[in-house]
Amino acid sequence: MGPMYSRRLRPIVRAYVMAIAFWYGIAVLMGLQYSPLDRNHVWFSFFGLLVQAGAHAFALALWTPPIFFLVKKYLRFSTKRVRYVLLWGLGAVPFVLLHTAIAWLVIPPYVSRSLQSWLEIVRSAFADDTFIYIAIVVAAHGYEYLKRLRKEERERYEYQQALAASELQALKMQLHPHFLFNTLHGIATLIETDARSAKSMIIRLSNLLRTALDRGSSDLIPLESELNFAREYLDLEKMRFGSRLKVDWLVAPETLPFFVPQMILQPLVENAVRHGIASSREPGWIDVAATVSDGRLKVQVRNSTGNNTSNGTGVGLRNVEARLKYLYSGDASLSFNMADKRMATASLTFPALNSQPVGARVQQLQTVPERNDYARSHR
């Protein structure tokens, strides 16, 4: 019972302390303006000013928290504007009477305390007290509307975050069946012609799926992990296409620790295989490059296209664009273009977010027996 009572009492005490501090400061300033200090008795007059200011502050602060409380409790009735404004307007009468009564009791008297003196105080202070009452009521409404606005903004932000998270999760879940379908299609083409290779591909595919599941729900991973996943997938495709597929990794070693979205490269390398290699009887190639400069990480997937003229607007690229939008809010981009209908280039640009502290060891991507000219030239 004690702690609960203390929790209820604490905000009330805080409200009164803040009200007294505010009104005391206002009362001192008003006292200095309307009652200049006596030069012959500076300290005495200043002490008297502080006492009177404290009495005025107490008289005003006594009613300020209750007004804020009533505004909070009955603000829902503000839709009936005329009645609402009228009721608050009528509230000025008891406020003035009570405030002047408190002031009449606590302020050191310079005249006898009688009904006549109190009525005189009411007459002389009615306009000022009414203005103060209106100011308190307006401030209370402004405070409540501000709290509600902040609450609505917070709820809207949380809703947008939850919506973005759910859409991101849906996009990530869309990648798995898309990737799985393409890989199983490749395995199906080998079952009758090369059963041993098909069996090996199934084992590699199971390892890939295990890796995808082990990654969990994190949105960002180091580029090195993303490249390793893409490399394992391309190793699967090389088993299918043999010498028809050549892969080059042109990756700067310093780019490996930087964060990228999970499985962001997978749709790009899938498209490179499906539309660039599988659609042509001629040998083809795929280049994966990564550079970093001026605080931006750039990753490119280039591939030969043969006679294929795909415009690159399939599910994979739309998925990538949507994920970049939700994760980076316009600070990352995807571009796709074709050069002379012989080469397709998909370029990703991200903010350079490093997953390791400065000076951390960076491992070079292993691409044997493929070449890594870019990595060697930047050692």
* In the block, residue with structure tokens 């009330």: 12
Q: Which residues of the chain have pLDDT under 50?
A: 1, 41-44, 357-379
Per residue in 268-290, pLDDT (tens digit) is 988 888 888 877 778 889 999 99
Report pLDDT for 124: 75
3-state helix, strand, coil in the chain (%, to 5): 65, 15, 20
Looking at the chain, which residues constitute the CATH 3.30.565.10 domain(s)?
194-377
| Cα separation, 338 vs 266, whole angstroms | 19
Angstrom distance (rounded) from CA 22 to CA 184 = 73
Report the b/e string of 144-177 with b at 16+ CB within 10 A.
Answer: beeeeeeeeeeeeeeeeeeeeeeebeebbebbee
Cα–Cα–Cα angle for 50, 55, 57, rounded to 5 degrees:
90
Q: Are 362 and 257 contacting, i.e. CB atoms less than 8 angstroms apart?
A: yes
CATH code assigned to 194-377 = 3.30.565.10
pLDDT at 286: 94
Q: The whole model's pTM is what?
A: 0.52
| Beta-carbon-side half-sphere exposure of residue 106 (alpha carbons within 13 Å) | 17
202 contact partners, CB below 8 Å, separation of at least 6: 187
Radius of gyration over alpha carbons of the chain, in Å?
A: 37
